[in-house]
Amino acid sequence: MTPQEIKQAIQGMKDYFNRSTRPLQEEHSTFAPGEGLYTVAQQVAHTAQTIEWFFGAAFSENWRMDFEGMDKEARAVTSLNEARAWFEKAIDQALCVAEAHDAAEWASTFPPNPIMGEVPRTAVMAACVDHTAHHRGALTVYERLLGLTPPMPYMDM
């Protein structure tokens, strides 16, 4: 993938996520379908955090492995507006990382690591898209539980 293709994929991922979660408003921030589950705000925060995590490790020697600490960070978010701002910041950072490296750098493989293995660095894009799709799907279930109608994620209708 070229940096431009990665940027387009990031933009598509952002658009799908934002469109899917558009019915959710600040008053839904603390809704969770069960005890111990992420709230709406925490779902969005976790999604943002994971985008940062993948793109932060794309050209680093280290993966942040403090999953308990990362969970605490996501669970500390109580405002959907705050979580959405984090998501936008994570997207902006990912776009910067995409642009900062050429196609050869993106095609280079990760050194041995416990997360992605020795695959091309472009694999973070597919991982982010999959992870973000998972959480936008979960959030559409939250929308249904709140009596909201999730929109079609791939286009405005």
Where would I find the H helices in 58-122? 67-75, 80-100, 103-107
The per-residue pLDDT for 14 is 97
Residue at 77 is within a domain:
yes
Expressed as residue numbers, the domain containing 109 is 3-145
Q: How far apart are CA 157 and CA 155, in angstroms?
A: 6
Give the integer Cα–Cα distance in Å for 108 and 11.
Answer: 23
For residue 156, is it within any domain? no
- Nearest CA-CA partner of 6 in 157, 118, 121, 115: 121
User: Given this model, what pLDDT does residue 59 score?
Assistant: 93
pLDDT at 156: 77
For the chain, what is the domain count?
Answer: 1
Which tokens go with 10? 């990031």
Read off the pLDDT of residues 48-74 as tens digits, 9 standing for 90 and up: 999 999 999 999 878 999 999 999 999
Q: What is the pLDDT tens value at each position of the chain, 157 positions in all? A: 899 999 999 999 999 999 999 999 999 999 999 999 999 999 999 999 999 999 999 998 789 999 999 999 999 999 999 999 999 999 999 999 999 999 999 999 999 988 999 999 999 999 999 999 999 999 999 999 999 999 987 877 7
| Closest CA relative to residue 84, chosen from 30, 34, 140, 42 | 42
102 assigned to some structural domain: yes
Question: Do the Cβ atoms of 80 and 41 come closer than 8 Å?
Answer: yes
Tell me, yes or no, whether 157 lies in a domain.
Answer: no
For residue 128, being part of any structural domain is answered with yes
CATH (domain of 98):
1.20.120.450
87 inside domain: yes
* Nearest 10 degrees: Cα torsion 89, 90, 95, 99: 100
Strand partners, 109: 120
Contacts of 85 (CB under 8 A, 6+ apart): none
What is the pLDDT at residue 62?
Answer: 82
Residue 154 within a domain: no
Note whether 9 and 91 are within 8 A (CB).
no
